[in-house]
Amino acid sequence: MPNAKNQHKISTEKIDEVPSPLEWVGRIVVGQWGRTYAEALQTCCSRAFPRAEVSVGCTGAKILEGLRAKRADLLLLALVMPDIHGVDLLKTVANERLALRVLVVCHQRDERTLLALRDSQFDGLLDTQEEPVETLVKALHMVAAGRSYVSEVFRDTVVDRDPVGVVWQKLTPAEIRVFSAIGDGTGNEEAAQWLKLSEATVQTHRRNLMHKLGISSSAKLVREAIRLGFVRILSDGKVIRPGLVFAAVKEAASPKDCGYPYLRDELT
C-alpha cells in the first residue's frame, strides 16, 4: 500500500502467488472517497475474487444505497467519506446487516478514530499506509473465509488489550478507584482532592496502573479506561465512572454503604 502522500497511486500490477479465490463471494462493495483510489481497490478485489461482482461507492450515501438494494458478501470500507464518518457508516451497516463480512482500510491513527474503532463491528482492519497490496489481497481472503486480519500497528491500540476480567484481577481496589478518577483525563491534583488522597499517592497509583497495563502515556491510559468501561463519557459530555462500583464490589462492600460519598453520587 502507498503512504499517505501518494495513496492515490496504488499499484494495480499483476499479483502472483496469492491464495486461491473463495468461490462463494458473489458481491463485493468498495467504499472509498476518491474515484482513482477506489477503482484501484476495486481492481484488487476483482483479482482476489474473479467471479464476484465488485461495485464502488465514493460517498456514504451511495454506499448505503447500494447495500440496501443488495446486501454485500464483503464490504471493503475506508473511513474517510465526504458526507459521513466511516465509523458511523460501520454502525449502520452492522445494525441493518448490510454486509456479511467487513474489512476496514485505514491509515488514521488519531485518538478519536482509534477509540471509535474499539466499539465498531468489523472483521478485519488493514493499515493502508504500511501494508503492501499483496497483504490486502490475503486479508480479503482471510476475512471472506471467516477469519480476522488486523495490521500489527492497530493490534495494541484497537484489539489486543486485556479484557476487563483480566484487568480486574491485576488491579487492587485502590488502583481501580484511581483509574476511574483519572480515566477521563482528570489530573492528579483534582483526582486526589476528589478521592481524599494525597497527590503523591495518586501519582504512585497512576505509575503502577501504566506498568500493570503496559501503557506508556496518559492518553493511552484514558483510552484504556474508556475501552474497559471504568469510565463512560456520554454524548452530552457528562462523565460517569462505573469503575468506582467495580472497586467497591472487589472490596466485598455494598456500594451504597462503602463510605465514599463520590460513589454514592455516581449511583444516584
The model's pLDDT over 151-165, given as tens digits with 9 standing for 90+, comes to 888 876 776 555 566
Alpha-carbon span 99 to 122, nearest angstrom: 10
The model's pLDDT over 95-116, given as tens digits with 9 standing for 90+, comes to 899 998 999 999 887 767 777 7
| Per-domain boundaries in the chain | 7-159, 164-266
Cβ pair 39, 9 in contact under 8 A: no
pLDDT at 73: 92
C-alpha cell at 78: 475506508
Using the predicted structure, report yes or no on whether residue 27 has a pLDDT greater than 70.
yes
- The CATH number of the domain covering residues in 7-159: 3.40.50.2300
Nearest to 37 by CA among 6, 68, 69, 82: 6
What CATH number does domain 164-266 carry, 1.10.10.10, 3.40.50.2300, 3.40.640.10, 3.40.50.300?
A: 1.10.10.10
State pTM to two decimals. Answer: 0.56
Strands (E), 58-162: 72-78, 99-106, 124-127, 149-150
Alpha-carbon span 71 to 200, nearest angstrom: 56
Regarding predicted confidence, which is higher, 256 or 252?
252
Alpha-carbon span 173 to 15, nearest angstrom: 54
The model's pLDDT over 126-145, given as tens digits with 9 standing for 90+, comes to 998 888 999 999 999 988 88
What's the rounded mean pLDDT across residues 209-229? 85
What proportion of the chain, given as a percentage, has pLDDT over 90? 43
